[in-house]
Amino acid sequence: MIPGVEIDWDDSVSMRLACLALDKGRLTDDLVTALAVRGALLVDLTLGGRVTETADAVEFDVGPSGFAPADQLLAGGAPSLSELLGRGPVDQHDLAAEHLRRGS
């Protein structure tokens, strides 16, 4: 992915991570996986030019991305990036649902 280029969500870091979150055919349900999912979404958004760092803040392009989990993460808001990563509104279940919706 190149900054400023449309994100290919089907080939994104977050969707690949969701596939790795399976354990014997079942989705893992631990806090580390949820944190990793939110981090992967932020990586995808950053690589797509939707997250920028300024001298004193991290700014998000909160316009629709065309990917429901990313939009949900950004719409949830948080007082800090740490809070967004640690307790954001998206987890592995949201990415699994997106996989099913997309038929991937």
- For 13-55, the pLDDT digits (tens) are 777 776 666 666 666 677 688 888 899 999 999 989 998 888 8
Judge contact between 82 and 35, C-beta under 8 A: no
Q: Comparing C-alpha atoms, which of 80, 41, 46, 47 is closest to residue 60?
A: 46
Question: How many residues are recorded in the chain?
Answer: 104
Q: Please give the tally of structural domains in the chain.
A: 1
Report pLDDT for 71.
94
Q: Is residue 51 part of a domain?
A: yes
Distance of alpha carbon 38 from alpha carbon 16, whole angstroms = 13
Tokens at 68, concatenated: 């429901």
Q: What residue numbers bound the domain in which 14 lies?
A: 9-102
Residue 37 inside a domain? The answer is: yes
User: Is residue 84 in some structural domain?
Assistant: yes
Residue 2 maps to a domain: no
Q: Are the C-beta atoms of residues 78 and 72 closer than 8 Å to each other?
A: no
Q: Is residue 3 part of a domain?
A: no
> Is the model more confident about 98 or about 17?
98
